[in-house]
Chains A and B, each alone.
Chain A
Amino acid sequence: MTTAAAARTLPKPPFLNYQFGRAYDEMFERPGMPRRHYQALYRTLLESPPEELRKNQQAADLSFLHQGITFTVYGNGEGTERIFPNDLLPRIIPGREWRKVEAGLTQRITALNLFLKDIYHEGRILSARVVPRELVYSCRHFRREMCGLNVPRDAYVSVCGTDLVRLPDGSFAVLEDNLRVPSGVSYMLANRKVLKRVFPTLFRDYGVCSVDHYAQGLLSTLLSLAPANCPDPAEAAIVLLTPGVFNSAYFEHTFLAQQMGIELVEGRDLLVHDNVVYTRTTAGLRRVDIIYRRVDDDFVDSLCFRADSGLGVPGLFNAYRAGNVTLANAIGTGVADDKAIFAFVPAMISYYLGEEPILPNVKTYLLSETSDRAYVLDHLAELVVKAVGESGGYGMLIGPHSTTEQQEEFRCRILAEPRNYIAQPTLALSQAPCYLDGEVEARHVDLRPYILYGENITLVPGALTRVALRRGSLVVNSSQGGGSKDTWVLRE
């Protein structure tokens, strides 16, 4: 090796603690050699005085705190407000990579909506034995009440957040779909706002696609879903239904309502009379046509679902059935993001669209299948086991990071209820540079783009990149010590 080449590969500040593993590195092709689309950022980091970056990070944190971009952490008595940790360095995705993600996700949501329509009507895919019937009917999120019911434009899932990971070979794969009430999009927008302030020149020179039109895209998606009996579809009244101020995503609800210019309502602001939904306003009752609901299925209507729910509106489901109001997302979409059904999404794509899946799934073992189960029970120490109905990083066993007792506990749970669990290989999520305490270090990240499905399918060129801020951690959920960073999708 020549001295010049050796000098190039020696880490320079602030990269002294930057470590490489078997995971794909978003920034470096190999140590000391940034990928083409990361070169400008790399140079900026080498050249910026350390105190400038530190000041920028402080300014960014303060800006989140002042805007009240916080979430509530429960546990130890009362809920406390914390800012959602934001990392200063953008995650950069070249345009050609993004185009493949976009095509793959468009294909995926199309198939998922066809699947939901099918299982709540004829069930062709079940008769054809492509997806096992018992898997669908045993799913906790399957809603019998939805059978035979038509939803506007067959849009069951109109807002979707799909989690992608990058495998060691650099290709993207789908880790899971969030088809019920996906959240986090406000952080995508807030991160962007802050980074534009922190790196204005870099941002301009990179040619980053804008994400600022997300709220407008969401609004027109919702508007295109007017219910069958809407008196005036062009002037349909839309509201955002929030569980209330104690929900951890309440900031996002107020933010989106404000950005779209629609009313933010709680269950107690709504009432149903003669199967029509109204808001109680100071000017009397006002008819509501479309509800963007951020309340889970179980809680939307105490007459139909959980009777102890005070968050929803009694009678709402009947109004929905009568075609007098649209709920977005529809009721019962959770069946399609059940982690066991997830394994069949590539099969759905082939069945409904006659296409090959553009984005592969992460390999998933179904513990209800005898052969899969035997394999998984033999390899608990290497795999990740997840409960099918859980989300937010709860109810998981991460094999390599677990104790023998934990593995035994999961073995018992799996044998007791095999349908309730799936297993996946422990993924080496790709790593990206993060600014931590004056140094740039590598941390594992995933990617959550948001897909809107109404009259058109819309993907804003951007996403929430979630970061596992603890060194070596693979869990990116905000409830488990995760943070986020801005995602720059380049025009070229």
Chain B
Amino acid sequence: MLSRVAECLYWMSRYLERAEHTARLIDVDLQLGLDQSPLAGSERSRRLFEALQVPQRLIGRLDSVSITHTLTLNRANPSSIFCCVAAARDNLGHVRDQCSSKMWESLNCLYLQTHDVPQTESSVLQSHEFFQSVRDGGYLFQGITDSTMTHGEGWHYIQLGRFIERMESIAALVGAYFEGLSQPPDQTIDGAEYLEWVGLLKSCDAFEAYCKAYSAELRPQRVAEFLLLTREFPHSLRFSAEMIHTALRLAAKLTKRNAELPVRLSGRLRATLSLTPIAEIMAKGVQDYLNTVRKQCGQAHAAVNQIYFNYPVESLVAA
């Protein structure tokens, strides 16, 4: 497979995952706002911006409505939902011959939907429907991809992009919640904070799954354990690490490359997430642990880029 094609598939997938994640976070935030949650609006906004890694220079200047616009429809902000969907479509458009026509159609539809939203219409930003349609578009695309595309090399780059992006964004999100935590992590959350932590789980599509595992009683430590270490839940860090590692092992096998570096780095990431007990994570600090995970994830990304996408040609022609 051409390196350019692989890279386009990878970034297409990352951009789409980012759009979906942003839509989910803002949607949850809107709903929390409706419930008149007593937590000061400013504190919730701070957490949202931190989770989405909005640059500080934007936050200082704008009120919350215009920040939502910046995150959603603004064509000048490369991380806005619109720009992410457009970038995903752009990447797929360059390699249209490599994907199924259903995949293109579905992504193109999602693009046209976000494109047709009137820029000036601020009511759209208060409505659940817009964000729901972006989320649904993401789920639909993923389903079509999984059932119409050969699960070969190209599909593995799509998987890789999706789960590397997911890991980055969930780590940032969990970090933002634990930073503002004022109570001991192993105690039940109630009162004002309860809805906020339901919001965290919902931001990962995890509330129902969490309830099945632990009941609706929320404790920060359990929430962390669920979102970080559950092997079977698709929006947990550990699940993402498993997927990243599998994709890289299979890509190395399919390309018959001596591609040890990405496999080794993703293996270490997987070990970090599968072998560390939650108690130890809590004792050393969630932030530290998340930083380690994000650093290792970034290293895996860099290795993929260096081995598969943009390798120095000199190293190969000299041989």
Query: A residues engaging B (CB < 8 A)?
Result: 66-68, 245, 254, 257-258, 263-266, 268-269, 271, 273-274, 278-285
Whether the Cβ atoms of A285 and B313 lie closer than 8 Å is yes
| Cross-interface CB contact of A279 among B2, B311, B317, cutoff 8 Å | B2
A271 to B257, CA, bound (A): 20
Question: Contact at A280–B313, with CB atoms within 8 Å?
Answer: yes
Question: What's the least CB distance linking B98 to chain A, in Å?
Answer: 9
Known: A271-B313, A273-B313. A281 touches B3 (CB 8 A): yes
Which chain B residues lie closer than 8 Å to A254 at the CB level?
Answer: 96-97
Contacts A68-B96, A273-B317, A283-B255 known; list 18 others, CB within 8 Å.
Answer: A66-B105, A245-B94, A269-B3, A274-B317, A279-B2, A280-B2, A280-B3, A281-B255, A282-B2, A282-B3, A282-B308, A283-B1, A283-B254, A283-B256, A283-B257, A284-B255, A285-B313, A285-B316
Minimum C-beta distance from A273 to chain B (A) = 5
Residues of B within 8 A of A265 (CB): 2
Nearest B-chain residue to A255, judged by Cβ: B97
Inter-chain contact B6/A282, CB cutoff 8 Å: yes
Residues of A within 8 A of B3 (CB): 269, 280-282
Question: Known contacts A271-B313, A273-B313, A273-B317: does B1 contact A282 (CB below 8 Å)?
Answer: yes
Asked whether B168 is an interface residue with its Cβ less than 8 Å from the other chain, the reply is no
**Do A257 and B97 touch (CB < 8 A)?**
yes
When chains A and B are docked, how far (Å) is the Cα of A262 from the Cα of B309? 20
In this complex, what residue of A is CB-closest to B310? A280
| Set of chain A residues within 8 Å of B96, measured between Cβ atoms | 68, 254
CA distance A410 to B94 in the complex (A): 42
Q: How far is the CA of A40 from the CA of B6 in the complex (A)?
A: 52
The answer to whether B4 has its CB under 8 Å from any CB of chain A is: yes
- What A residues does B6 contact at CB under 8 A? 282
Take A281-B2, A282-B6, A285-B313 as given contacts and tell me if A264 and B255 are in contact as well, using a CB distance cutoff of 8 Å. no
As a 0/1 sequence over residues 102 to 113 of chain B, the CB contacts with chain A under 8 angstroms (1 = contact) are 001100000000
- 8 A Cβ contacts from B153-182 to A: 153
Which residues of chain B are near A279, meaning CB under 8 Å?
2
| Chain A nearest Cβ from B89, distance in angstroms | 12
Q: How many Å from the CB of A274 to the closest CB on chain B?
A: 8
Quick check: A266 and B4 within 8 Å, CB to CB? yes
Question: What is the distance, in angstroms, from B101's C-beta to the closest C-beta of chain A?
Answer: 8
A residues within 8 A CB of B254? 283
Shortest distance between the CB of A314 and any CB in chain B (Å): 13
In the complex, how many angstroms separate the beta carbon of A338 from the nearest chain B beta carbon? Answer: 34
Task: Closest B residue to A266 by CB, please name it.
Answer: B4
B287 to chain A, nearest CB (A): 36
How far in angstroms is the closest Cβ of chain B from A19? 41
Q: Is the CB of A280 within 8 A of B93?
A: no
28 residue pairs from A and B, CB less than 8 Å apart: A67-B101, A68-B104, A245-B93, A245-B94, A254-B97, A257-B97, A258-B97, A263-B2, A268-B4, A271-B313, A274-B317, A279-B2, A280-B2, A280-B3, A280-B4, A280-B311, A281-B1, A281-B3, A282-B1, A282-B2, A282-B3, A282-B251, A282-B257, A283-B254, A283-B256, A284-B255, A284-B257, A285-B313
Please name the residue on chain A nearest to B94 by beta carbon.
Answer: A245
A245 to B, closest residue via Cβ: B94
Residues of B within 8 A of A67 (CB): 101
Identify which of B104, B255, B316 contacts A282 (C-beta below 8 A).
B255
10 A-B pairs with least C-beta separation: A283-B255, A254-B97, A282-B308, A280-B3, A273-B317, A282-B6, A282-B255, A282-B1, A269-B2, A258-B97
One of A269, A271, A274 near B4 (C-beta < 8 A): A269
Q: Kindly name the residue among A268, A274, A285 whose own CB sees the greatest number of chain B CB atoms within 10 A.
A: A285
The chain B residue with its CB closest to the CB of A258 is B97
Q: Which B residue's beta carbon lies closest to that of A286?
A: B2
Question: Nearest-CB distance from B87 to chain A (Å)?
Answer: 14
Residue of B nearest to A265 (CB): B2
A204 to B177, CA, bound (A): 69
**A66 vs B105: C-alpha distance in the bound complex, in angstroms?**
8
Query: Which B residues are in CB contact (< 8 Å) with A280?
Result: 2-4, 311, 313
B261 to chain A, nearest CB (A): 14
Q: Name the residue among A67, A274, A281 with the largest chain B CB count within 10 angstroms.
A: A281
Contact A264 B97 (CB under 8 A): yes
Residues of A within 8 A of B309 (CB): 282
Closest chain B CB from A424 CB (angstroms): 40
For A66, list chain B residues within 8 Å (CB).
105
| B241-258 contacts to A (CB < 8 Å) | 251, 254-257
Pairwise interchain contact A282-B153, C-beta atoms closer than 8 A: yes
Q: Give complex CA distance A462, B282 in Å.
A: 74
A284 pairs with B2, CB closer than 8 A: no
